[in-house]
Amino acid sequence: MRFVLHYLIDFVDNKRFLARGYPRSRHEPDAVLETPKETCAIKARNFGDPMGGMMKKSFFAAICLTLSGCIGGTPVFSEVAKFDALPTAPQGIKLALVPLNDQEGDIEFSTYRQTVKARMEAQGFQIVEDPTHAELWAFFDYGVGDPRSESFSYPIFGQTGGGTTYHSGTVNSSAGSATFSGTSTQMPSFGFVGSGNGTRTVYDRFFVLEIVDPSRSTQEKVEIVYRSNVRSSGSSGTFLPISECVFEAVFEEFRGTGSKKITGRKCFKG
């Protein structure tokens, strides 16, 4: 069984979630699988395995089923607020993606700009490079806050029945006494066996997209015709790994005014 735990940890570690093992202990789980939003702990019993590969396979199969509820992806949960005063149909409207002062020549901004450009074109805008030839200007900004600690609880899954039972005893009769011992085995079953508590490091992330009408703007007032604010929190302390999930939150339902919670899955980690 210990072999299965080591194999499981090696197999899932760095595959969109973190896996770690504990020293063998009666009070600690044998393996913990963590995502930004979920934690599953696995506790194995009966390390002496007279059933050999059968118990190992059953245990591994049970864990795989368990993981489908715990780590069926690594989503990024975002809250989106949108304010929309754009024309009904933006098809063919010339739009320029204008960098902010500190974004000029920045390679990270240029990377995200290509993605935003493609998504804006998919909405029907005609992207132009020269702002003087554009009917609308678009600006976007993004960032990650300082780390903070967050408490959480997690379920512990383990063997709930079956396995190997050891029998021993003494039989007394008028002729004397005799001792006996033996084992019996049943197919193991697995399920919820407890819960634990922990803390994790969380980062707050943001993305803001604004579209401006320069023909109606002055030095005193900028005419904003569209704004989308996205906020999320998770384990990623940099913006790149979760950028696709954030863009998904903005552009999945680009039009309309209101707020919504979006679950994005097109990214590396949360």
76-106: pLDDT as tens digits: 788 999 999 998 788 899 999 999 999 999 9
| pLDDT score, position 36 | 46
Give the C-alpha separation, 142 to 240, whole Å.
10
Average pLDDT over all residues of the chain = 76
Residue 7 has pLDDT above 60, yes or no: no
| pLDDT score, position 1 | 42
Mean pLDDT of 243-266: 84
| pLDDT score, position 264 | 62
Mean pLDDT of 201-217: 95
Mean pLDDT of 26-31: 53
Mean pLDDT of 30-50: 50
Whole-model pTM: value is 0.62
List, by residue range, all CATH 3.30.160.670 domains of the chain: 76-148+201-264
| pLDDT score, position 161 | 77
Give the C-alpha separation, 36 to 264, whole Å.
13
- Asked if 33 and 12 touch (Cβ cutoff 8 Å), the reply is yes
Domain 76-148+201-264 has CATH 3.30.2000.20: no
Choose between 177 and 198: higher pLDDT.
Answer: 198
Give the C-alpha separation, 159 to 42, whole Å.
9
Residue 20 has pLDDT above 60, yes or no: no
> What burial letters (b/e) apply to 40-68, b meaning 16+ CB within 10 Å?
bbbbbbbeebebeeebbebbbebbeebbe
Give the C-alpha separation, 235 to 162, whole Å.
38
pLDDT band at 32 (very low <50, low <70, confident <90, very high): low
Choose between 189 and 9: higher pLDDT.
Answer: 189
Report the share of the chain in percent with pLDDT over 90: 39
> What burial letters (b/e) apply to 238-255, b meaning 16+ CB within 10 Å?
ebebbbbbbbbbbbeebe
Choose between 183 and 68: higher pLDDT.
Answer: 183
Tell how strand 176-212 and strand 136-144 pair up: antiparallel
Residue 68 has pLDDT above 50, yes or no: no
User: What burial class does residue 187 get, using C-beta atoms within 10 Å of its C-beta: 0-12 exposed, 13-18 middle, 19+ buried?
Assistant: exposed
Choose from 41-50, 63-72, 110-119 the range with maximum mean pLDDT: 110-119
Residue 234 has pLDDT above 80, yes or no: yes
